[in-house]
Structure 1
Amino acid sequence: MSSMGKKNLEKQNRTGFLLFLFCTSFLGLMVGMLGSVKWGQAYVPWGTLWEALTYQGHDKEHLYIQTLRLPRTITACLVGIQLALAGLLTQLTTKNPLASPHVFGINAGAALAVVFGLVVIKNVSLANSVWLAMIGAALGALLVGSLAGTGPKQYVRLALAGITIHFLLSSLTEGLIILNQHTTESMMFWLVGSVSQAAWTEVRMLLPFFAGGLLVFGFMLPSFRLLVMDDEIAAGLGQRVTVVRAISMLLVIVLAGSAVALCGPIGFICLIVPHIARALVGTNLNVLVPLTGLLGGNLLVYADLLGRFIAFPYDSPVGIVTAAIGAPFFIYLARKQGGTGKR
């Protein structure tokens, strides 16, 4: 077989694999969402589930599905997609495979701002909580960036500064909660990361940030390819790397901040999902970005479903499940990077 024929065969095999991968991921997400709507504390027959999803009935069981389980499932899907894409963009921007909004203090800053608003301002609306979370996320990112500085060791310092600021802001958040238990008692479940309280109000609040974030991501995708290159090469091609990096971090703040405001600082999705997607399809952003989003939605939907059965009939915060999955994966990545001498 000629070299041209081998290349065509490899291309066909690659296309077939990608088609299978995306179809499987999408089907898995649909099955997970269906299971999330059906299974939980209360038993729901398939017939009742169909009637509820098609709005053919309005009795107690139908309303339970329509007002509790369905918005919870949709929220888990949207938040999973947002966090996974925020993690991918953070890793591209910082050129650090161990980077994520959670590790770099962005999620911790958002959580601190929401708790601070609850303690100081009190009676904070959901919309104001979202804006507070974004302000906190931005301040956390700026603090980490200012500590890291510039220079050849910047990416190493970013990781060290990010972890330090994450623990500092998390400690301040926990301190506020302990000192104001009468006000923040209900925040403990949220602080671990949970979608169990999500309703249609949360879905409507999240959708503009979700849709706007995806539109900006798609529009900026050609520019985000510069983040894969070395800064010197991109600058030599006449590209405005600093502007692209600033836009990417702003997008991370919007995606991660809005998710944290509604569901708490859910950990490790931002970190592990981009690595799984990259291992499957490589670094081509045209394929990597949509697959990362799909896998993020899958992971959080299934983690939320699993969390319902850990201490059945009580719900466990989804953050516990993602941490149980993500912590060993993080250790593996850290050892792998250290063993290969990569930064």
Structure 2
Amino acid sequence: MIQLKASMLVGTLLICAVGSLFIGGTPLEPSAVIHTLWNGGDLDFIINQYRLPRFLLAIGVGAGLGISGALIQGVLRNPLASPDLMGISAGTGFAATLLLVDIPDASLPLLASVAISGGIGAAIVIITIAYKYNPTPARLALIGIAISAFISSGIDFLLIVHPVEINTAMVWLTGSLWGRNWSQMPLIWLSLACLIPCAMYLAWRLDLMGLGEEAATTVGAQPERTRFIALILSVLLASVSVAVCGTISFVGLLSPHLARLLFGHNHKLLLPMSGVIGALLVVTADTLARGIDPPLELPAGVLTSLIGAPYFIFLLQRYQGWK
């Protein structure tokens, strides 16, 4: 049954991804898309240089955010934890905005490295405060929200102080795959190729940590080491994903919850399925963003927020007695 669910989920992702090639400011017939994919032609730019890299990037970004969220929730045993609430997305956004208002045409390697550094820096601040006060999971979520709000105010300040230079930054901050192309492909997919195997290596340790630190220590899971490595991997996955397409909110929160609902708590299945669901969310959001009212294109991050914000309120109500 689980294998059937997984196969159906992957199949749905592939159908949505391929379907995204037909949708946009210029609706295309399947025959035209197939011909262009193999032979090029007048539609080569639309298909091979615009829509094809977009759906491949959407899959990579969604997978990175989904697995990042599953790692954070697993290691902290906190169902409200996510890259957004842990300040990773806000830190990445602040660092990228700081660079873009100063150098609007910053190169991709420079933008990516600065954005990733910002995400790592924000995570270090939050984790340091958390360990200093030894908070409960609910308090940790509040610390993340507070730091994220503080960093977001810094972003707003930069946008107000630099009103002329904000165009590039605004496109990036709203979370959009607009303008992305093959040049971003190596960053996201090479990162996933390196980081996902490391995350899967921690799967059984995360299962043991769910039983409690004492039980995990007894069987040699080394909770402190596992927690540290998992947090580093989560920060890197989220930072790279946000560096590619900006701040697409709530994917890291929703994906693990939906995966847990469908496949249970076994991290060997939970981690990859969180990635698949994250990819499906981003692909769907990006497709709808450019298909709702073409040629107008909405940011994909706006659509994920419309889904994620009500779901977050539902989670707060569900865990209102949880400490």
Which TM-score applies when normalising by structure 2?
0.95
SS at match of 1:185: helix
Partner of 1:324: 306
Partner of 1:11: none
The 5 A counterparts of 1:87-166 are 87-120=69-102, 123-150=105-132, 153-166=135-148
Partner of 1:21: 5
Kept in 2: contact 1:144–1:161 (CA 8 A): yes
Report deviation, 1:121. Answer: 5.7
Partner of 1:47: 31
Partner of 2:172: 190
Q: Which amino acid aligns with 1:37?
A: L
Deviations 1:200-256 (A, max 9, x none): 001122211121111211233233334323122222334321111111111111110
CA distance in 1 between counterparts of 2:135 and 2:147 reads: 18
SS at match of 1:163: helix
Kept in 1: contact 2:24–2:290 (CA 8 A): yes
CA distance in 2 between counterparts of 1:167 and 1:153 reads: 19
Deviations 1:93-144 (A, max 9, x none): 2211011010111110011111112234664321122221221111111111
Deviations 1:28-55 (A, max 9, x none): 111101111111110222221001222x
Report deviation, 1:199. Answer: 0.1
1:311 aligned to 290, 293, 299, which one?
Answer: 293
Quick check: 293-302 or 181-190, which moved more?
181-190
The 5 A counterparts of 1:56-75 are 56-57=39-40, 59-75=41-57
CA distance in 2 between counterparts of 1:154 and 1:336 reads: 17
**Identity percentage of aligned residues:** 32
Kept in 2: contact 1:72–1:195 (CA 8 A): yes
Cα distance change, pair 150–282 in 1 and its aligned pair in 2 (3 A): farther
Report deviation, 1:75. Answer: 0.6
1:32 aligned to 1, 5, 16, which one?
Answer: 16
Q: Which amino acid aligns with 1:319?
A: G
Kept in 1: contact 2:203–2:267 (CA 8 A): yes
Q: Which amino acid aligns with 1:110?
A: T
CA distance in 1 between counterparts of 2:61 and 2:190 reads: 13
Deviations 1:56-108 (A, max 9, x none): 12x23122200000001111111011101101111112211011010111110
* Structure 1 gaps, min length 5: 1-16
1:241 aligned to 223, 226, 231, which one?
Answer: 223
Are 1:220 and 2:239 matched, yes or no?
no
Partner of 1:342: 322
Aligned length: 323
CA distance in 1 between counterparts of 2:134 and 2:122 reads: 22
CA distance in 2 between counterparts of 1:66 and 1:122 reads: 26
Kept in 2: contact 1:107–1:260 (CA 8 A): yes
SS at match of 1:239: coil
Deviations 1:135-184 (A, max 9, x none): 11111111112222356634232111100001111111121122112223
Report deviation, 1:189. Answer: 2.1
CA distance in 1 between counterparts of 2:92 and 2:152 reads: 10
Q: Which amino acid aligns with 1:225?
A: D
Kept in 2: contact 1:44–1:61 (CA 8 A): no
CA distance in 1 between counterparts of 2:229 and 2:129 reads: 20
Kept in 2: contact 1:48–1:62 (CA 8 A): no
Which TM-score applies when normalising by structure 1?
0.89
Kept in 2: contact 1:41–1:308 (CA 8 A): yes
SS at match of 1:182: coil
Structure exhibiting the larger radius of gyration computed from Cα positions = 1
Are 1:200 and 2:191 matched, yes or no?
no
CA distance in 2 between counterparts of 1:308 and 1:123 reads: 24
Q: Which amino acid aligns with 2:49?
A: T
CA distance in 2 between counterparts of 1:251 and 1:153 reads: 22
Partner of 1:84: 66
